[in-house]
Structure 1
Amino acid sequence: MLKKLLGGLLGKDKPVPAAAPAVTAATVATPAEQAAPLGQIQALGFVAHQPLQDRSQRVVAYEFVVKASLGQARSQAHQRSFDQLLLNTLRNMNVFRLLAYRRAFIHVSLASLPDLPAQDLPLASCIFVLEPQTGDVLDGALLAQLDALRQAGWRFAAEPARFGSQANALALYQRMDYLILDFAAPNTRALFPLLEKLPQRFSHLRWLARNINSAEELALCQQSPGSQHFALFHGSYLGVAQPASHSKKEAPNQGRVLEIMRLLRAEAPPASIEAQFKLDSLLLFKLLRYVNSPVNGLARKVQTIEESIMLLGRDNLFKWLSLLLFTAEGNDGAVLTLMEKSLIRGRFMEQLGLVNGNRLEAEHLFLTGMFSMLGALLHTSQAEALAPLDLPVMIADALLSNRGLFARPLQLTLACENDDSEAIAGLCRILQVSPEQATALYLDAVVWAQEVLKEGEVQSSVEGV
């Protein structure tokens, strides 16, 4: 139903098939398993998947890394086994479904280069981030392996701060497609003099700026010498509401949409709702186009607002209008990113509700996730954005006070976004779902959001990544 709602909203005329269910993730690795000999490691920890945005703030890629593996010393054989398990886990969870609409940056060790040719992976959609281990040497044999893989279509990225002044480091960078600047790395700033020279020396390279957590860091990427080479960005600063400019003010019909939603929640008579639609011809056009789209299977054409409201029902009309809020500025990259995150949150929380078999609760959880970004969308506080809607108490409590029945599902959603493995484990125990189930549901929500955006023809272009 949710895909039908968005499909009708955006003028799609064909039913949308349901997303294929994600395969449940493997069990979380214990310390004993992490120390197991090659071939005996059975599972991974939480697989991080962070969104990467282009210069217009549209999400175009995801970065995958095994968070549990960071900072752990392993032999080359053990790391190769871990890398293989990461790739197997991504395949088993059917994560590569989303690469029709996104690209993937996948972390692997230098030790795994000989294993890559045997992998069945969508090379056109993947960039492999090379991770050095203690004792790795950038010798001629390793560079030759990279050359052979590149000729076969493999693409690579590296973080100069991880390689420092190793011999042949510059030769390695020459063979990369992306270089990574991590603003959270302790030694990044000491390397700024070198980083300023690299764009001039390797003009073909593009840069990924990771952990952009302030306006100053974003400005450094956008305004420093060679700033045109920065192509992808990641960080908490990109996901917060920015001060509204004249070009990003509330779209003309958003106030009308909010007013109609308020009237629906207040059980206003149909005549009052109809009067609001008549004040906005574009909104009325979209309503009638959706009601009469083939996805609703009507035998005759509906031409009146009152009949549309009767056929849709107030709940479905309210949900349709909530989706409409996030498409009012559909050509804006920042708004698309907010819409995508909202869809992921809504879908994930809805599926958490369905795990317990409560469909009404699941519907309310969907709205909780969708409205969790409303303040950022409207460039105002969350309380001010939600005020006209008169939402059910359990939704308002979760969004405004972080309490009540829906607070824990929302907290789990945010923990998954932030790759907080400890919080995920604790919240899963409270909500009585396994971490593996939660991880699978979240990844499935990510894929579902891409499919919904694709059906709505508001998908970001990833061809240049």
Structure 2
Amino acid sequence: MMSSLFKFLTGRKNQITPDSKKRESAVDKANFAELNKLSPIKNVGISQLSVQENIATPSFVCREAVLNKDQKVVGHSFTLTRSVNELVRKSSELVRNLYDDVLLGSILRMDIKRLLGSRLAFIPILPSSLKRAPIEKLPTEGVILVLTSLEELTQNSSEYLTRLITLKNAGFRFGLQGNLKLPDLQPFLELAEFVLIDIGANDLPTINSLIDEVNKQVMNKNWVAINVKLLDEFHVCTKLPFSYFQGAFITNREAWEAPALDAGRIKILNLLNLLRQDAENTELVQIFKQDPALSFKILRYINSAGFGLAGKINSIDQALLILGRQSLYRWLTLLLFTSGNSNPLDLALMENALVRARFTELCAADSLSKNEQDELFITGIFSLLDVLLRLPMDKVLEQMNLPPLVVEALLHNNGKYAPYLGLAIACEAFDQDQIVNLSCRVGLSLTQVTICQTEALIWAEMANQ
């Protein structure tokens, strides 16, 4: 995995061009304007017209990681912002179909095949949207269409069964989410590969009852636990038949007891601080030589195929010269997530941190200097160090020598970098108001934010392979 980071850490990255930032869809704008007219998102005054115009841009899609039992990221769930979801859920079928059209259109513009790679995309839709044009344009590989209004399915059983069979024969895959105790649901359960249960909306006896109800009718389904907010909930779900897990538990901050940092991570933090202090290479080399495992990792990394070196590098001195200080700093930062007393969730946490880092860096591509973009990258990576180390952020930062603006953003949510980090976190939380306000503060449209997020997701997945 670490060897594949070379082209990312040394600046060989796909850049967002001005042309790519300007791509917007007039048709989708009209659709979303109609959706917003039928079910207004928010009343705003004349002074907030720029924010209102940003809301009317239908390009922003939220994603949430889906993990397997090994705690590896195997897919993402895609929706529009949470507040739009809440409004749409209470609206007419017309509005909900428009919502699906906007969601599917936005996903198609994200180049979903490139974004997914070998992973899964869970896309919640109404059964009635199965008959609408955007469905036919979706790739079949990796896409799971999650049907969310099961009452509608059973009320129009014959029509939807015919449509689902046609789509399944074309290669589409399905999931079911909702009232799993409905009568006449069995034919749809037989066609579905995935069954989703909202952990946040059901207690444990109800969850077990739903699983038993489905297992009486069909077997061998892939169970997906969604809305898993706490690590304790995740651990309970792993003891049930669930194979996949979605929710905010990956980055959740809990009341940690203060653990002692292991020696491996202490050495890495020491190296990071020395790099910030412009220490001599000889001092860095001595620390590497005191840790055989760390020496082995950097030599394996520098001799990996990604560097394309003519001959083998056998000394730490040479490795540091070839790698350069900026790339070494980034490599050591990522090594924090994979060294010491790590647990399986740390890799998923690292990918989330990579998305934040790359996203903030891309969002600042036209507004901040190269040095400031580099510091934003570090801000994004370090924004989850407290979760990784299970220490409060102020305790983490006491052990690090970081630029003042990075500390200000991480510790006080203030300063030049704070809006960029806040935007990354708002995207994860599906917080529409914050997404709109912060995208305006950093001078980006929602379309541009979506492009940055898509590129960051692709970059982080490739880096984590």
Establish whether TM, by shorter chain, passes 0.5.
yes
- Measured in 1, the distance between the counterparts of 2:134 and 2:367 equals 43
TM-score, with length taken from structure 1: 0.81
Match for residue 94 of structure 1 among 106, 111, 134: 111
Residues 329 and 335, structure 1, Cα contact 8 Å, conserved in 2: no
Match for residue 411 of structure 1 among 422, 428, 432: 422
Match for residue 199 of structure 1 among 202, 207, 215: 215
- Structure 1 residue identity aligned to 2:70: S
State yes or no: 1:374 paired with 2:404: no
**Residue in 2 aligned with 1:7?**
6
- Structure 2 residue identity aligned to 1:150: K
Identical aligned residues as a percent:
28
**Residue in 1 aligned with 2:67?**
53
Segment drifting more, 340-349 vs 199-208: 199-208
Q: Please state how far the C-alpha of 1:128 moved relative to its aligned partner.
A: 0.4
Match for residue 164 of structure 2 among 139, 146, 154: 146
Q: Please state how far the C-alpha of 1:331 moved relative to its aligned partner.
A: 8.8
Aligned-partner SS, 1:51: strand
State yes or no: 1:449 paired with 2:460: yes
Q: Please state how far the C-alpha of 1:160 moved relative to its aligned partner.
A: 3.0
Match for residue 218 of structure 1 among 231, 234, 238: 234
Q: Please state how far the C-alpha of 1:303 moved relative to its aligned partner.
A: 4.5
- Structure 2 residue identity aligned to 1:7: F
Segments of structure 1 that go 5 or more residues without pairing to the other structure are 455-465
Aligned-partner SS, 1:355: coil
- Measured in 2, the distance between the counterparts of 1:305 and 1:256 equals 16
- Structure 2 residue identity aligned to 1:423: Q
Residues 257 and 325, structure 1, Cα contact 8 Å, conserved in 2: yes
Q: Please state how far the C-alpha of 1:337 moved relative to its aligned partner.
A: 0.4
The 1:268–1:196 alpha-carbon spacing in structure 2 relative to 1, beyond 3 Å, is same
- Measured in 1, the distance between the counterparts of 2:342 and 2:391 equals 20
Segments of structure 2 that go 5 or more residues without pairing to the other structure are 39-55
Residues 46 and 419, structure 1, Cα contact 8 Å, conserved in 2: no
Aligned-partner SS, 2:444: coil
The 1:118–1:173 alpha-carbon spacing in structure 2 relative to 1, beyond 3 Å, is closer
State yes or no: 1:156 paired with 2:174: yes
- Measured in 2, the distance between the counterparts of 1:194 and 1:134 equals 16
Segment drifting more, 42-51 vs 423-432: 42-51
- Measured in 2, the distance between the counterparts of 1:148 and 1:181 equals 26
- Measured in 1, the distance between the counterparts of 2:256 and 2:202 equals 33
TM-score, with length taken from structure 2: 0.81
Aligned-partner SS, 1:408: helix
Aligned-partner SS, 1:389: coil
- Structure 1 residue identity aligned to 2:384: M
- Structure 1 residue identity aligned to 2:108: R
State yes or no: 1:174 paired with 2:190: yes
- Measured in 2, the distance between the counterparts of 1:411 and 1:28 equals 26
State yes or no: 1:131 paired with 2:132: no
- Measured in 2, the distance between the counterparts of 1:177 and 1:249 equals 44
Q: Would you say how many aligned residue pairs link Structure 1 and Structure 2?
A: 437
- Structure 1 residue identity aligned to 2:72: R
Segment drifting more, 139-148 vs 401-410: 139-148
Q: Please state how far the C-alpha of 1:389 moved relative to its aligned partner.
A: 2.4
Aligned-partner SS, 2:364: helix
Segment drifting more, 61-70 vs 22-31: 22-31
Equivalent residues in 2 for 1:2-401 (5 A)? 6-7=5-6, 18=14, 24=23, 26=25, 32-34=33-35, 44=58, 46-67=60-81, 68-72=84-88, 76=93, 79-115=96-132, 119-132=136-149, 137-161=155-179, 165=182, 167-185=183-201, 193-215=209-231, 217-223=233-239, 227=240, 229-240=241-252, 253-292=264-303, 295-296=306-307, 302-328=313-339, 332-401=343-412
Instruction: Tell me how large the CA RMSD over aligned residues is.
Output: 3.7
Structure (1 or 2) with the greater helix fraction: 2
The 1:238–1:346 alpha-carbon spacing in structure 2 relative to 1, beyond 3 Å, is closer
Residues 127 and 155, structure 1, Cα contact 8 Å, conserved in 2: yes
- Measured in 2, the distance between the counterparts of 1:134 and 1:32 equals 28
Q: Deviations over 1:147-199 (max 9, x none)?
A: 333333221111233x653x423433232211111133489976764444323
Residues 251 and 384, structure 2, Cα contact 8 Å, conserved in 1: no
Q: Please state how far the C-alpha of 1:364 moved relative to its aligned partner.
A: 0.2
The 1:306–1:154 alpha-carbon spacing in structure 2 relative to 1, beyond 3 Å, is closer
- Structure 1 residue identity aligned to 2:127: L
- Measured in 2, the distance between the counterparts of 1:74 and 1:355 equals 39
Aligned-partner SS, 2:76: strand
Q: Please state how far the C-alpha of 1:6 moved relative to its aligned partner.
A: 2.1
- Measured in 2, the distance between the counterparts of 1:250 and 1:104 equals 37
- Measured in 1, the distance between the counterparts of 2:151 and 2:224 equals 24
- Measured in 2, the distance between the counterparts of 1:430 and 1:296 equals 39
Q: Please state how far the C-alpha of 1:107 moved relative to its aligned partner.
A: 1.6
Q: Please state how far the C-alpha of 1:88 moved relative to its aligned partner.
A: 2.6
Q: Deviations over 1:250-301 (max 9, x none)?
A: 6653222111112222233333222111111232233334445565566766
Q: Please state how far the C-alpha of 1:420 moved relative to its aligned partner.
A: 0.9
- Structure 1 residue identity aligned to 2:143: C
Residues 100 and 126, structure 2, Cα contact 8 Å, conserved in 1: yes
Q: Deviations over 1:24-48 (max 9, x none)?
A: 45476787421689xxxx9636322
Q: Please state how far the C-alpha of 1:425 moved relative to its aligned partner.
A: 0.5
The 1:200–1:78 alpha-carbon spacing in structure 2 relative to 1, beyond 3 Å, is same
- Measured in 1, the distance between the counterparts of 2:135 and 2:230 equals 41
Residues 182 and 188, structure 1, Cα contact 8 Å, conserved in 2: no
The 1:424–1:249 alpha-carbon spacing in structure 2 relative to 1, beyond 3 Å, is same
- Measured in 2, the distance between the counterparts of 1:317 and 1:450 equals 20
The 1:187–1:261 alpha-carbon spacing in structure 2 relative to 1, beyond 3 Å, is closer
- Structure 2 residue identity aligned to 1:53: L
Residues 28 and 436, structure 1, Cα contact 8 Å, conserved in 2: no
Residues 265 and 340, structure 2, Cα contact 8 Å, conserved in 1: no
